[in-house]
Structure 1
Amino acid sequence: MSRIKLLGAFAALSLLAGCVTGYNIDAAKEVQPGNVSAFNAGLVKEYRDLTTFEADKMYDWPDADLFARKALAAANGETVLPEELANWDLPVDKIDEMAKYRAELVSLLDAGARTRVPDDAARAQGRFDCWVEQQEENHQPDDIAACKNDFLAALEKLKVTPAPMAPDRFTVYFDFDRSNIRPDAQAVLNDVVAAAKKEGVSEFSLTGHADRAGPPDYNLRLSIKRAESVRDYLVGKGFMPQNISVAGRGEADPAVPTADGVREQANRRVEIIFQ
C-alpha cells in the first residue's frame, strides 16, 4: 500500500533477515493448507502466488507481507475476506466501480459460493485483491488489466453456478463503527427472506458482533444496534418482531481473533439463525 511503502522499504533494507515481514513472506512461500475448507485451500494458493510475485518479481515487501499474512491465515482455517477499499489509496475515478464489484463478490461468497464452487470463489477473491493492489500503484496497465479480467472471469462463474438449498444460517457484515444495512448485506437479507418463506420459517435469532477497535462497552451497544437493524429489515419484509430475538456479543466472540484496537471486517457482523 503506497502510504506505507516507503516505511516498508526502509524496514526491508535494514531488517529483512530477521524481521516479521521477512518471516511472513518466507513462511507463505512454503505454506500448505492444513485441515481447512476447499475454499481456504484455494485462498492459500492464490495468496501464496501473490506473495511470491510481489516479493521476487516486484520487490514490494509491504504488499508481499500483506498477501503472506492472508495466505498464512487461510492455511490456519481463519476467515479471510477481500480487501477493504478504504485501506488503499485508489484513484478516485476507480473507486465506485471497484466498490460495486466488491459488494457483488461478497454477496456471492456469503450466498454459498465458498462451498458451492470453492476454487472459483478463491480465484475471484485472490484476483480481486490483485486488482486492488495493482490499481493503487496505477502504473502498470497490463498488470491491472490482467488482474481485473481474471477477477471478472471468475466472478461470472460464481453467478452461473446453480444455488444450493437454502441454509438455516446467514451472516451479514457492517462498515466500521456503523450499524446501517449496506448493499451487500441487503442482498444477503433478501436471500434470508426468500429462504425463510420457502421453508416456512417465521422465527429468527439475531446475534450482533463488533471488532476490537473501541471500548468494550461501546462495542457491546454497537453490536446490539447492528442486530436491531437486521431485525428492523426483517420486520419491514413482513415478519413479526416478537418472533425475532436480538442479542449482542460486542467484541467477545470474534470470527477472527485480533489484538485490542484492531479493525477486522469479519468481526463486524450479525449472525442470523432460523429457529
Structure 2
Amino acid sequence: MLNGAKVVFALLVSLVVAGCAGKIDRRAMDGYFLLANDIPAVREMQPHGPAFVQGLRAGYVEIMDYEKAQMDFGDARHFGRKAVAAASGVNVLPDEVALRKIDAAAAEELSAARARLMDAYERDARRLAPLAAARAQTAFDCWLEGSEYDPDRAEDCKARFMTAMAAVEDALASGIENVYIVFFAWDRADITPVARKIIAQVAEDYAQGKAARLILAGHADRSGPAAYNLKLSKRRAQAVAKVLAEMGVPEEAMELQWYGETKPRVPTPDGVREPQNRRVEISLE
C-alpha cells in the first residue's frame, strides 16, 4: 500500500485547521479535488494506439478502480498514472519488486516472475501476443501490490499472471504474426499488388478464426502539412478496410484509426519522405 491514505488524512486535517482559522488553504483544496477528480478522468479516457497499449490501459484502470474501492488512494493514483502513461505512448514496465515491502520468499518468487515477463518482451511478446502480454503485466503488478497486505488478492492475481504468461509463451512458440503492415507510395492511398497479398493474408487469418477484431491504423510521413497527412492516413486506413470488406471481413469487425505523421516507424525531420512511415498497420485481436 502506497501512502495515499496518509495523503488524504493530511489534506483533510489541513482543511479543518484552515477552516477553524477562518481561512481555507487553497493548496489543500486543490490537492483534495485533484485526488477526488482525476480517477474518473482516467477511467473515461478514450483508448487508442496498439493493442498492447490498450490492454495495459484497461488493466491498470481496473486495478485503479479496485484500489479506490478499497480506499487505498495512493495505489489508485499509482495505477491511474500507469494507465495514463501507457495510453500516452510511454514504455510502461512492470513495477520493480523493491517498490513493495514484502518478505524474502515472496520477493524471490516475484523477481523470477518479472524476469520471465521481461524475457518474453525481449522475444517480441508485445507484438506477437499484445493482449496476453498486457494482461500478464497488469496481473504481475496486482500480484506484487497484493503481496504487501492482501494474500487472497495476491493469489488471485498470481493465477491470472500464470494464465496470461502461458498464452504469451504459446504465441512466442508458434511465432504467429499478429500485426501486418501495408505500405504506400508517396502521397497515395492506392492498394498495390504487394499490399493486396498482405491484406489477403489478413482476411484469411480472420476467416480461420485467428482474430475476432482487426484494428487498422493509418500513418503518413512528414513530407507534407500535418493536417493534410492526417487526412491522407485516414484515406489509407479506409482503402485497406474497403479491400478487407471485399474479401469477406465484416465492417463491424474492423476499427479504423489514423495518426497522420505523429507515430513514425522511422523518426525523421519534418519534410522528409520516408517509405517506412507511409503505412497502415493491421493488428489482429
TM-score bracket relative to the smaller structure: 0.5 to 0.7
Equivalent residue in structure 2 for 1:130, among 118, 130, 142: 142
Cα distance between partner residues in 2 of 1:16 and 1:93:
42
The percent of aligned pairs where both chains have the same amino acid is 34
Q: 1:152 — aligned with what?
A: 162
Instruction: Give the counterpart letter for 1:8 in structure 2.
Output: V
Alignment correspondent of 1:33: 47
- What residue identity is the alignment partner of 2:153? D
Counterpart position of 1:120: 132
Aligned residue identity for 2:39: I
Contact kept? 1:24, 1:69, Cα under 8 Å: no
Question: Displacement, 1:9?
Answer: 3.6
d(CA) in 2 for partners of 1:86, 1:114: 24
Cα deviation for residue 22 of structure 1 reads: 3.4
CA offset at residue 12 of structure 1? 5.9
CA distance in 1, matches of 2:151, 2:96: 22
66 and 16 in structure 1: CA distance in 2 versus 1, 3 angstrom threshold? farther
**Deviation above 3 Å: which 4+ runs of structure 1?**
11-24, 163-166
Q: Which residue of 2 aligns with 1:240?
A: none
Is the 8 Å Cα contact of residues 94 and 137 (structure 2) preserved in structure 1? Answer: yes
**TM-aligned CA deviation for residue 145 of structure 1:** 1.0
> In the alignment, is residue 103 of structure 1 matched against residue 115 of structure 2?
yes
CA contact (8 A) 2:5 2:74 kept: no
SS of the counterpart of 1:33?
coil
Contact residue 33 and residue 74 of structure 1 kept, 8 A: no
Residues 61-210 of structure 1: pairs in structure 2 closer than 5 A: 61-137=73-149, 140-161=150-171, 162=173, 164=175
The one-letter amino acid paired with 2:84 is L
Q: 3-state SS of the aligned residue for 2:124?
A: helix
User: Which stretch has the larger CA shift, 106-115 or 62-71?
Assistant: 106-115
Q: Could you list the runs of 5+ residues in structure 2 that have no partner in the other structure?
A: 16-27, 178-285
- Matched residue SS, 2:57: helix
Amino acid at match of 2:160: D
Aligned match of 2:67: 54
SS in structure 2 opposite 1:89?
coil
Whole-Å separation in 2 of the counterparts to 1:16 and 1:25: 16
In the alignment, the residues of structure 2 paired with residue 129 and residue 102 of structure 1 have an alpha-carbon distance, to the nearest angstrom, of: 9
Gap change, CA 1:165 and 1:144, over 3 Å in 2: closer
Q: Which runs of 5+ in 1 are unaligned?
A: 167-275
- For the 8 Å contact 1:74–1:80, the answer to whether it is kept is yes
Aligned partner of residue 90 in structure 2, secondary structure: coil
CA distance in 2, matches of 1:68, 1:43: 11
Q: Please tell me the residue identity of whatever aligns with 2:88.
A: N
**Cα drift, residue 164 of structure 1:** 3.9
Q: Which is higher, the Rg of structure 1 or of structure 2?
A: 2
**What residue identity is the alignment partner of 2:151?**
P
Q: Could you say what the CA RMSD is over the residues aligned between the two structures, in angstroms?
A: 2.3
